[in-house]
A and B are shown apart, each in its own frame.
Chain A
Amino acid sequence: MAAKSLTVVVSQSPSKNPAKRHLEEELVAALMLDETVDVAVVPHLYNLDASHSGTMFLQSMRGHLVVLSWMYPRAAHWLLDRVGVKGHLGETLLEDLDEDEDVEIPEPQGIGGVELPDRNVYCLDLGVDSDPGVFLEEISRIVGELTVETVELMDWISGSPEPEQLERYLDPLSVLTGQGGVEPVKRRWYPVIDYERCTNCMECIDFCLFGVYGVDTFDRILVEQQDNCKKGCPACSRVCPENAIVFPQHKEPAVAGALGDVGALKIDLSRLFGNTSGLDTAVSERDVELMRDGREAVGASVGMPKRQSDRDSTERDDLDDVFDGLDAMNL
């Protein structure tokens, strides 16, 4: 019997909602009996910090990964990338029924990830369906997709697990989930950059005044100090011209990583009716956090976006053609 080529990780919801717990348990139970995959359980990914055993467990995985979590797929994918659990974006066929199919999603034009190992990371959003069968079917499809490739085999047990082997699997699970008081997780709040969309324009680093952003050795934008971020504040996400900044726990889907209307500042409907633009909202959200820190509010005087003037509102003129011509010359 071939060794398993795929590890499935179930990331638990921080909510005690029995419907969510039930779905997680059903999935784990079914996957443990599945001879084609390994399964592990970790706490809610977003709350894991770099030193948590759950993070280190994920970092130790070398083969293809399927990660089931209560987050939009791109939020989970880039969150994992940030902690070094990297891989190519695995294509999933699961669709969120709530998403409007008529909305055209532009092809991502971002700078992409770096140093991606030769494996796929598939992120599935547990929120799309309450039926475990939907996820199990998708995992089977992924297993099928992967068996046509040559994969590095994992040195886990293979074949049908005996009861005592199952127990061995169960043991680390309890450690990883923090049950029994082992390694509790604290609630966290920080942005996640989707590098498939991020163009490295640096609007976020200009706008945020709390030192969350920095650049890496390749001069790529980076969420450097996650815990400098102000709980509940999603202002940088609103100023991002590419919708590349995700706050997975935010209640507005566009901020939490849903794909939809991209390129314009994102506006909550209630704010729309209050006649407030996304940028105004971001400015006031930032001022609230500045004043909480005992600092002066800066309003719209600092770090205003330079690249998101409404491009469609003015007709192209000759000057635009001249500039585009210059760009094409690669000066």
Chain B
Amino acid sequence: MADDLVFMMGEFEALVPGDRRYAENHLWLQEDGDFLKVGLTSYAVRLLQDVYFLDWSVDPHSNVLAGQEIGEIESSKAVSSLFAPVDGQVLEFNDVALEDPSAINTAGYGDGWLYRFRTDAVLLDPQEYLAVLDSGWEDTQRIIKGQLN
């Protein structure tokens, strides 16, 4: 198993665990039986902060395309659409997180997973995801600052 990595968001240490793979839109995907569990990375959760509401606009077992809008998230800092990480099939949603999304904040790499997923797409390893974070950090800060004005 690869080592856990850390990306520094200013002072904040965004953990990138070595035991799973990633998608560029800040989702982690971890094998869970025959399928994958998907959740938001620590980086994404740090940007969202407290998550208040989660809603899905597709039914379980829907085939989805990379970048397809599949839901919405409301947090103390943002309202955002949620998009499919890669081509695949959304199997079922985590009812616990749907009912009380605070698990995304308290256990984003554990009980706060979002949905089960099946895909044949190639995913990023932790090192590659870290490179994505590195190259995007300046942009992300600019976007956030732009929205604050």
Contact = CB atoms under 8 A, between A and B. Distances in A.
Interface of A: 13-18, 184, 187, 230-232, 249, 251, 292
Nearest to B57: A232
Interface of B: 52-53, 55-59, 62-63, 72, 74, 98-102
7 contacts: A13-B53, A15-B53, A16-B52, A17-B53, A17-B74, A231-B56, A231-B59
A187 B98 contact: yes
Nearest to A13: B53
A18 B53 CA distance: 11
A16 B63 contact: no
Q: Tell me the interface secondary structure of chain A in the complex.
A: loop
Nearest to B68: A288
Contacts of A18: 52
Contacts of A187: 55-56, 98
Contacts of A230: 59
A251 B53 CA distance: 14
A60 B52 CA distance: 32
A15 B74 contact: yes
A118 B35 CA distance: 56
Given A18-B52, A231-B56, 9 more contacts: A13-B53, A15-B53, A16-B53, A16-B101, A187-B56, A230-B59, A231-B58, A232-B58, A251-B72
B67 to A, nearest CB: 14
Given A15-B74, A251-B72, A292-B62, A231 B98 contact: no
B144 to A, nearest CB: 20
B100 A16 contact: yes
Contacts of A231: 56-59
Nearest to B53: A15
Contacts of A292: 59, 62-63
Nearest to A233: B57
Contacts of A184: 99
Contacts of A15: 52-53, 74
A14 B53 contact: yes
Nearest to B64: A292
A231 B102 CA distance: 24
A313 B98 CA distance: 47
A10 to B, nearest CB: 18
A17 B52 contact: yes
B7 to A, nearest CB: 28
A18 B98 CA distance: 16
B61 to A, nearest CB: 9
A2 B57 CA distance: 48
Contacts of A251: 72
A187 B55 CA distance: 8
A129 B52 CA distance: 19
A18 B57 CA distance: 23
Contacts of A249: 55
What are the 4 A-B residue pairs with the smallest beta carbon separation, nearest first? A232-B57, A15-B53, A17-B52, A16-B52
Nearest to A16: B52
Contacts of B56: 187, 231
Contacts of A16: 52-53, 100-102
B124 to A, nearest CB: 27
Contacts of A14: 53, 55
A13 B55 CA distance: 13
Nearest to A189: B57
B9 to A, nearest CB: 24
B52 to A, nearest CB: 4
